[in-house]
Structure 1
């Protein structure tokens, strides 16, 4: 299972600043070890967490039990386990790393690989996520600038949400990006002298 990284920390900061009443219904997509789900649960929210990895589901359940907080953890592909439900807040830290080759990722790579443009999962969230928000509900989504934050904002605005990049930070290239650095530079996603990537949090609200 993929250990929490800087993107999780950035999204946790955004979550900490989001005003949420006790009992708010929160969905944590691609929960991984459940860091964000546990953070929301400690604020008194009713939290559902989803991950496609069974190992992540078991880890999130164990971490919630050990922390003494209530989190419903479901195994499934993005929104499938929560069809027909709606939420006050949707959190998402999906796979977003551009990857060579056309095949869907398998094994541990499902936690980061997301097609040649890095948007295999992001575009699904932009398309389907707004339908799960209640009036006034918020989507908080983190990803790399390599997968085009402007495109994320544009897609969310196109479906009627008020969206903007609200947090940014630059981090050194990690092992996955280093391993495909030459390919990324050849595609123009990394400049020749660039040794960092920018992470962004997009906040999108369904205006009442």
Structure 2
């Protein structure tokens, strides 16, 4: 599949937006969609009054709320939409581990939405905890990397000789490329499923796959069978042959814990690692997320959904 590297004037406008936000110390942490809904529905807060309201909370705004240079950058980038007499930005900007990230505005209902939220922060924390500051890395790859949170968090710590991010979403590839350019981190992006086209001998592979059963089948959310763990397992099976001797696969995902405490995803990942002669370390990072999913039919036999971190290491 081709690399998605072509820059446009709209890209230049988005980079100018990120530079200006950096200069002004912009900061925003993206919450869960449910929290977002609760906050923006509060009385008197439906219309934006600040830059954070526009680019963080995705509130509609009147001309004059944004400084002229930010409004012009959004207009030049083609990411402004009319909302009656008001405007809306179709992008958000959040800060994760000190880096700014473009991603999709709320609500993220479109099939090609580029999602960033609490999982992104936990993923970044997991990656940072597993990579020593200043470590030497040859090749790094991020599967289904979205806006680039995992790849850029890792690359900021270890400065790999080569870094590749793959995704099936062209909008995600564009945002990841721009986020990397703003951060000053070299990153190749490629439209591909999994590690298709990635070179063998990769030292570090990252993955934060979708892990919820989504009836709508949204790419960034639906993890398939195994109560949403199918993609996580498939990506592990794909990653292991691509690892260099001594290389590691860092998987951040969710696992549906069945009634009685059985963790089927852990069982399958352990079996996969053993069959490949690899070591596996597996731990729960958060014991209970997306509790509302337990009211749905696919989770009738599940007692909780845990966020887990899995490290598979290939022998030298």
**Partners of 2:206 and 2:117 in 1: CA distance:** 16
| Paired position in structure 2 for 1:70 | 186
The 5 Å alignment of 1:55-134 reads 55-82=171-198, 84-99=199-214, 105=217, 109-117=218-226, 118-134=228-244
Q: Give the C-alpha shift of residue 9 in structure 1.
A: 2.5
194, 201, 205: which one aligns with 2:309: 201
**Partners of 1:53 and 1:81 in 2: CA distance:** 16
Q: 2:253 touches 2:308 (CA, 8 Å); kept in 1?
A: yes
Would you say 1:168 and 2:285 are equivalent positions?
Answer: yes
SS at match of 1:80: coil
CA RMSD of aligned residues (A): 2.3
Q: Give the C-alpha shift of residue 100 in structure 1.
A: 5.3
SS at match of 2:287: strand
List runs of 5+ in structure 1 lacking aligned partners: none
| Paired position in structure 1 for 2:167 | 51
The 5 Å alignment of 1:145-164 reads 145-146=255-256, 148-164=265-281
Q: Deviations over 1:64-93 (max 9, x none)?
A: 1121211111111111131x4321110011
**Structure number with higher relative contact order (C-alpha < 8 Å, ≥ 6 residues apart):** 1
Tell me whether 127-136 or 162-171 shows the greater mean CA deviation.
Answer: 162-171
| Paired position in structure 2 for 1:18 | 130
Structure of larger gyration radius: 2
**Partners of 2:138 and 2:128 in 1: CA distance:** 14
Q: Give the C-alpha shift of residue 159 in structure 1.
A: 1.5
How many positions carry a matched residue from both structures? 192
Distance change (3 Å), C-alpha of 1:172 and 1:96: closer
Would you say 1:40 and 2:154 are equivalent positions?
Answer: yes
**Partners of 1:98 and 1:70 in 2: CA distance:** 34
Distance change (3 Å), C-alpha of 1:169 and 1:68: same
